[in-house]
Amino acid sequence: MPFKSQAQRGFLYAVHPDIAKEFEAATPKGAKLPKKIGTSKTKKTRSLASVKPTTKIALD
């Protein structure tokens, strides 16, 4: 599995150098890696408490 970022590379060499060597072999030579991978900007969902009902239900 190739590295996805420079931060991942630094972490693996510091904590798991044996795994980092395997990742390094799978990463293409001269690959330009970003410093960090950001979080995905997905649409936030509203909580159910903020949703108002559209119809009234008669309870007998």
pLDDT in tens, 36-58: 988 766 666 666 666 676 777 77
pLDDT in tens, 16-39: 999 999 999 999 998 899 999 887
- Residue 13 gets which letter from DSSP? H
What is the number of other CB atoms lying within 10 angstroms of the CB of residue 10?
Answer: 13
Asked if 5 contacts 37 with a C-beta cutoff of 8 angstroms, the reply is yes
Q: Is 0.75 surpassed by the pTM of this model?
A: no
Asked if 31 contacts 39 with a C-beta cutoff of 8 angstroms, the reply is no
Query: Per-domain residue ranges for the chain?
Result: 1-27
Of 23, 42, 41, residue with least CA distance to 33? 23
